[in-house]
Amino acid sequence: MTKKILILCTGNSCRSQMAEGFFKHYRKDWNIHSAGISPKGLNPLAVKVMLERDIDISGQTSDSIEKYINEDFDYVITVCDKARESCPVFPNAKESIHWSFEDPADAYGSYEEKISRFREIRNQIEEKIIDFLKE
């Protein structure tokens, strides 16, 4: 059965983009979108770590939640605490879910330390999506 999912984050640059990529990878028949409260564009490190899994998210867009506010969704999933707190209500969503992931873009240190943090968050997101799809 086809599902329609919206994944929300603050900047729609890392976590929601990676989640969108994984959902599209595992469920090609579903209608998957992501958006942000204040879209910032795709983070190049998110693109890089997803390519390590053979998932190319470089063509995805960083959209505002305003684009989707009046659409119907089976699930609206927030992937950061800030988005959950400031997200408007989606009255046409059948179910709202919150998954809390740290923002890998906040990582400090060397390039290797930053990319390592992106990989950790990517792996957490993939694990959560796989569990969700098993339900």
Note the pLDDT tens digit of each residue in 10-55: 899 999 999 999 999 999 999 999 999 889 999 999 999 999 999 9
Helix orientation angle between 44-51 and 15-26, rounded to the nearest 10 degrees: 30
Q: What pTM was estimated for this model as a whole? A: 0.93
Domain spans of the chain? Answer: 4-134
Average pLDDT in the chain:
92
CATH 3.40.50.2300, domain 4-134, yes or no: yes
Between the CA of residue 2 and those of 20, 31, 32, 61, 74, what are the distances in Å?
15, 7, 10, 22, 9
Q: In the prediction, which pLDDT does 37 show?
A: 87
Question: In which band, very low, low, confident or very high, does the pLDDT at 99 lie, cut at 50, 70 and 90?
Answer: very high
Catalytic residues: 9, 80, 87
DSSP string, 31-92: EEEEEESS-----HHHHHHHHTTT---TT----BGGGTTTS-EEEEEE-SHHHHHHPPP-TT
